[in-house]
Amino acid sequence: MIFHKHKLFSYTIVIALSAVTFACGGTQEKTVSESEPEQMKDRIELIQDETAKRVDVLIDGKLFTSYIYPDSLEKPVLYPINTANGNAITRGWPITPRPGERVDHPHHLGLWFNYGDVNGLDFWNNSSDIKDKTKYGHIAHKSIKSMKSGNEEGVLEVSMDWMNNKGEVLLTENTSFIFRGKDDRRSIDRIAILTAPNGEVKLTDNKEGMLGLRTARQLEHPSDKPEIFTDASGKATDVPTMNNEGITGMYLSSEGVEGHDVWGTRGDWVSLTGKINNENISVAILDFPSNPGYPTYWHARGYGLFAANPLGQKSLSDGKDELNFKLEKGESATFKYRVIVYSNESIFDGQVNQDYIEWAK
């Protein structure tokens, strides 16, 4: 519960003024409503629209992001995600396509959290394009447990079910989103607790996972050749060469690895730097030391997929590492990540590393 100190201050003034007026023989009365300043809104405001199945997150009156959970999606996501100056760092397609965008991988939307092999089911690649759902799983929004606005942060707590195509629950997810924003910086903490309520759940090493962000076209690497990417089931997706005008993205990892070479490496964090509408932008994803599979492998592609995958070690290490993570019945695991959106500030002075040290505490 947020306690507004200015109310107490205002009441004290009213009482004090009343006493002075009475002592001076004055007859005019002051009411609380006349003396009290207007109720100030919280800087970080969460607003639910149950009909649209969304919760909007406003910072200083401007949309930062929305938690959306319509039935048409195979998982809830944060979409869009905007900088402090209102530029979207997320791709618009397939919900609100923009000119010049890629139209590959329809399951890449906003910021999401799922995995490519959960008891043999593919949660990662599922989308409305998949007609036969037999080998796919989906994540259903269950409830909003709490929602709190504030001046320093806004907090949204939700529950979800990871289910097979028969509606049987494999995993329950209880997630807290913590939204912060000040000056030209915005951040999201995503803290997910996965529990296996009905039996053992195996999350076998798989390339497709786990915390994913699909970026706006401007934050992609300039594309110098067409490529074909194949998912774990063998389905191939063409990613063609496109016009590179205004395409400025560049990855950098905590280990000093840059560009395309970030893919398949481990690190505490990775940043993606570029420019949108003359705004210098850096987006960083930070791992957490207690996470399973720490330090995470990075499933980061130049065409706009920016993902941390702590569980796909065999696939991402070319067989050097192997995890095959699993949860026994009733067992839980916690995954904590921070996403920071920097605007108009350089991160090459070690800013992300400083922020990571603070986060990792």
Answer yes or no: is pLDDT of 45 > 80. Answer: yes
- Residue 142: predicted pLDDT: 98
Alpha-carbon Rg of the chain, whole angstroms? Answer: 23
Q: How confident is residue 9, by pLDDT bands cut at 50, 70 and 90? A: very low
Yes or no: say if 236 and 228 are a contact pair by the CB < 8 Å rule.
Answer: yes
Average pLDDT value for the chain: 89
pLDDT tens-digit readout, 324-343: 999 999 999 999 999 999 99
Show the DSSP H helices in 24-144 as ranges.
32-35
Q: How confident is residue 42, by pLDDT bands cut at 50, 70 and 90? A: very high
Global pTM reads 0.87
pLDDT tens-digit readout, 82-122: 999 999 999 999 999 999 899 999 999 999 999 999 999 99
Domains of the chain: 1-39 (no CATH), 41-360 (2.70.98)
84 token code pair: 């402090």
Going along 151-247, which residue ranges are E strands? 154-163, 169-182, 185-195, 201-203, 209-214, 227-230, 236-239
Which pairing describes strands 62-68 and 111-115: parallel, antiparallel, or unpaired?
unpaired
Give the residue-averaged pLDDT of 228-257. Answer: 87
Going along 310-349, which residue ranges are E strands? 325-327, 332-343
- Residue 344: predicted pLDDT: 82
Yes or no: say if 266 and 282 are a contact pair by the CB < 8 Å rule.
Answer: no
